[in-house]
Amino acid sequence: MITTIAIFIGSILGLIITSAFFSGSETALTAVSKARIRHLADEGDNRAKEVEKLISKQDKLISTLLVGNNLVNISASALLTFFVIKKFGDEYVWIGTLLLTIFIIIFAEIAPKSFAAKRPESIAYPASRILKVLTKYLGSFSEMLTNISNSLTGIKNNENYFSENLNRDELKSVLEKETKEVD
């Protein structure tokens, strides 16, 4: 019995950690300086090349991250619901749902995203190795779901979701910020 409980708790914690990975990776890979990554890749940094390749297909990357994150969050929810019903009865499912929601929001969303936003490169580099494999295997499924979503919302598949066009003032602001950080 104690072994069963430990397996359920361990599985749910593992799923929450996996969800944190997806959330943090999403933030890191969208927050990382594309200009810096391009510069490092041009200088031969293989980690930067991996990151650059991933973010060059950002729509596929984002959909893979979303599919992965939703799969682990739904799995955690289903597992916890099953466990609570088996051990305590269905009248306590709401407590399990509430606790899991709080855990996911704090430990799988807010904390990893805050951390990744402050240190995007330190998260993007190791995450890119795992995500390279995941986009290979989940990518086709994610692309299919993205195409369905795009057709429902009227978005064309070749539209760029993430514009990197800067006007003159924005470019000046970015350069000033980068110059201050270097000094």
Reading the chain (183 residues) residue by residue, the pLDDT tens digits are 788 889 999 999 999 999 999 999 999 999 999 989 999 999 999 999 999 999 998 888 988 999 999 999 999 999 999 999 999 999 999 999 999 999 999 999 999 999 999 999 999 999 999 999 999 888 788 888 888 888 898 877 554 444 455 566 666 676 676 666 655
CA distance 69 to 77: 12
pLDDT of the residue at 163: 47
Instruction: Give kind and range of the element (H or E) at residue 109.
Output: none
How much is the pLDDT for 171?
Answer: 64
Q: Which of 74, 53, 52, 63 is nearest to 26 (CA)?
A: 63
The predicted structure's pLDDT at residue 170 = 64
Quick one: CA torsion of 102, 106, 110, 115, rounded to 10 degrees?
-170
Residue 83 CB: number of other CB atoms within 10 A? 19
- Got the DSSP string for 145-173? HHHHHHHHHT--TT--SS-----HHHHHH
> For residue 13, what pLDDT is reported?
96
- The C-alpha atoms of residue 144 and residue 139 are separated, in whole angstroms, by 8
Provide the pLDDT for residue 166. Answer: 59
